[in-house]
Amino acid sequence: MASELEVARNAFEERAWRAAFSQLAAAHTEGALGLDDLELLAQAAYLCGEEAASEKAWIQANQRSVENEDWARAARCAFWLGVTLQARSERAQAGGWFARAQRVLEDNDHDCVERGWLLVGAGLKLHHERNYDASTQAWERALEIGKHFHDVDLVATARQGLGRILIKQGRISEGSPMLDESMVAVLANEVSPISAGIIYCSVIEACQEILDIARAQEWTAALSDWVDAQPDLVPYRGRCQIHRSEIMTLEGRWADAAEEIAQACERLVKPPQPQLGMALNQQGEVHRLRGEFDAAEEAYGQANEKAFVLQPGWALLKLAKGETEAAVAAIQRSYEATSKEVTRCRVLPAYVEIMLAAGNIEGAKAGHEELAEIAETLDSPLLRGVALRCKGAVLLAEVNAADALATFAKVWEHWSALEVPYESARLRLLNAQASKQAGDEHTVASELDAAKRAFEQLGAVHDLKMLEALSGSTPAQVPGGLSPREVEILSLVAKGRSNREIASELVISERTVARHMSNIFNKLDVTSRTAASAFAFENNLV
419-432 confidence digits (pLDDT tens): 899 999 999 999 99
Flag the least confident range among 3-7, 280-284, 437-441: 3-7
When mean pLDDT is compared over 122-131, 152-161, 305-314, 449-458, the highest value belongs to 152-161
**Cα separation values, 235 from 49, 256, 377, 541, Å:** 7, 22, 34, 46
pLDDT at residue 24 above 80? Answer: yes
Report percent pLDDT > 70 for the chain.
97
How many CA atoms, within 13 angstroms, populate the side-chain half-sphere of residue 96? 6
pLDDT at residue 490 above 80? Answer: yes
pLDDT at residue 474 above 60? Answer: no
- Whether the upstream peptide bond of residue 349 has omega within 30° of 0, thus cis, is no
- My answer on whether 13 and 101 are in the same domain is yes
Nearest to 443 by CA among 455, 456, 433: 433
Domain presence at residue 242: no
pLDDT value of position 342: 65
CATH number for the domain spanning 87: value is 1.25.40.10
Give the domain-ending residue among 63, 84, 109.
109
| Distance in angstroms (rounded) separating the CA atoms of residues 152 and 139 | 15
pLDDT value of position 369: 94
pLDDT value of position 453: 92
253-282 confidence digits (pLDDT tens): 999 999 999 999 988 887 778 789 999 999
- My answer on whether 466 and 399 are in the same domain is yes
Name the more confident of 130 and 483.
130
Domain presence at residue 520: yes
pLDDT at residue 289 above 70? Answer: yes
| Distance in angstroms (rounded) separating the CA atoms of residues 507 and 511 | 12
- My answer on whether 417 and 507 are in the same domain is no
Dihedral of CA 459/460/462/463: which sign? negative
- My answer on whether 36 and 103 are in the same domain is yes
Domain presence at residue 169: no
pLDDT value of position 211: 80
Count CB neighbours of 366 within 10 A: 17
- My answer on whether 49 and 13 are in the same domain is yes
- My answer on whether 346 and 463 are in the same domain is yes
pLDDT value of position 191: 94
The mean pLDDT value for 355-376 works out to 92
How many CA atoms, within 13 angstroms, populate the side-chain half-sphere of residue 113? 16
Domain presence at residue 390: yes
pLDDT at residue 475 above 60? Answer: no
CATH number for the domain spanning 510: value is 1.10.10.10
pLDDT value of position 508: 73
Contacts of 125 (CB under 8 A, 6+ apart): none
Give the domain-ending residue among 65, 89, 109.
109
- The CA-to-CA distance between both ends of the chain, in Å, stands at 65
Q: Where are the alpha helices (DSSP H) in 460-509?
A: 461-471, 484-494, 499-506
- My answer on whether 466 and 363 are in the same domain is yes
The mean pLDDT value for 485-510 works out to 85
Rounded to the nearest 5 percent, the helix, strand and coil shares of the chain are: 80, 0, 20
161-184 confidence digits (pLDDT tens): 999 999 888 788 889 899 999 999
68-92 confidence digits (pLDDT tens): 999 999 999 999 999 888 877 788 8
Domain presence at residue 312: no
The mean pLDDT value for 99-116 works out to 91
- My answer on whether 467 and 492 are in the same domain is no
SS3 per residue for 323-348: CHHHHHHHHHHHHHHCCCHHHHHHHH
| Distance in angstroms (rounded) separating the CA atoms of residues 541 and 63 | 71
Name the more confident of 31 and 104.
104
Domain presence at residue 343: yes
| Distance in angstroms (rounded) separating the CA atoms of residues 399 and 380 | 29
pLDDT value of position 340: 64
- My answer on whether 3 and 49 are in the same domain is yes
When mean pLDDT is compared over 216-225, 386-395, 453-462, 473-482, the highest value belongs to 386-395
Flag the least confident range among 139-143, 177-181, 222-226, 387-391: 222-226
pLDDT value of position 472: 63
Give the domain-ending residue among 447, 471, 495.
471
Domain presence at residue 292: no
Name the more confident of 289 and 209.
289
DSSP 221: H
* Mean pLDDT computed over every residue of the chain: 89
Domain presence at residue 236: no
- My answer on whether 491 and 467 are in the same domain is no
- My answer on whether 499 and 400 are in the same domain is no
pLDDT band of residue 507 (cuts 50, 70, 90) is low
pLDDT value of position 1: 34
pLDDT at residue 189 above 60? Answer: yes
Note down the domain range covering 23: 1-109
355-365 confidence digits (pLDDT tens): 999 999 999 99
pLDDT value of position 515: 80
pLDDT value of position 504: 82
- My answer on whether 439 and 516 are in the same domain is no
Distance of alpha carbon 190 from the chain centroid: 25
212 torsion bin: left (phi>0), alpha (psi -120 to 50), beta (else)? beta
Nearest to 297 by CA among 276, 322, 320, 314: 314
What's the total number of domains in the chain?
3
Name the more confident of 476 and 398.
398
